[in-house]
Amino acid sequence: MIGLLGTSLPVFIAITVVVMGFAAYMTGQALGNNWKPVSHLVIYVLLLGLADRFLTFALFEGELLSVTGYIIDTAVLMAIAMFAFRINRVNRVVNQYPWLYQRAGLFNWREKEVRD
């Protein structure tokens, strides 16, 4: 597991999932609430992945240039950020345009049916 992640599993959970996962969630929430495109989210999460690799290296002597570690860390952060982005985008659409849209599950909305 150390070779694949570039660090140990407890360090991966502590740094990637908890610390940087919180940052990814907040990033997704901010971009979802402010009508920013998903392309901005992708760029920010790629940078968060670099910060995650550096923290792992600086604090716990993990591999700095672990390509598989970076890919796995960034994929986890991307999933967390996309989750937050989509939930907040749906909330924003449904709350801002309640006469047009209604919630259709956790990650989607639909147009309201017009009754004559």
Residue 110 DSSP SS3: strand
| pLDDT score for 1 | 60
pTM above 0.85, yes or no: yes
CA angle 76, 8, 70 (to 5 degrees): 40
In tens, the pLDDT along 28-69 reads 999 999 999 999 999 999 999 999 999 999 999 999 999 999
| Residue 29 CB neighbour total at 10 angstroms | 18
Q: Of residues 105 and 115, which shows the higher confidence score?
A: 105
The answer to whether residue 56 sits within a structural domain is: yes
Q: Which range marks the domain in which residue 56 is found? A: 2-111
Q: Which of 56, 49, 54 is nearest to 73 (CA)?
A: 49
Number of domains making up the chain: 1
Instruction: Examine residue 116 and state whether it is found in any structural domain, yes or no.
Output: no
Is residue 103 included in any domain, yes or no? yes
Report the chain's mean pLDDT, rounded to a whole number. Answer: 93
The count of other CB atoms within 10 Å of the CB of residue 35 is 10
Task: Tell me if 83 is assigned to some domain.
Answer: yes
pLDDT at 81: 98
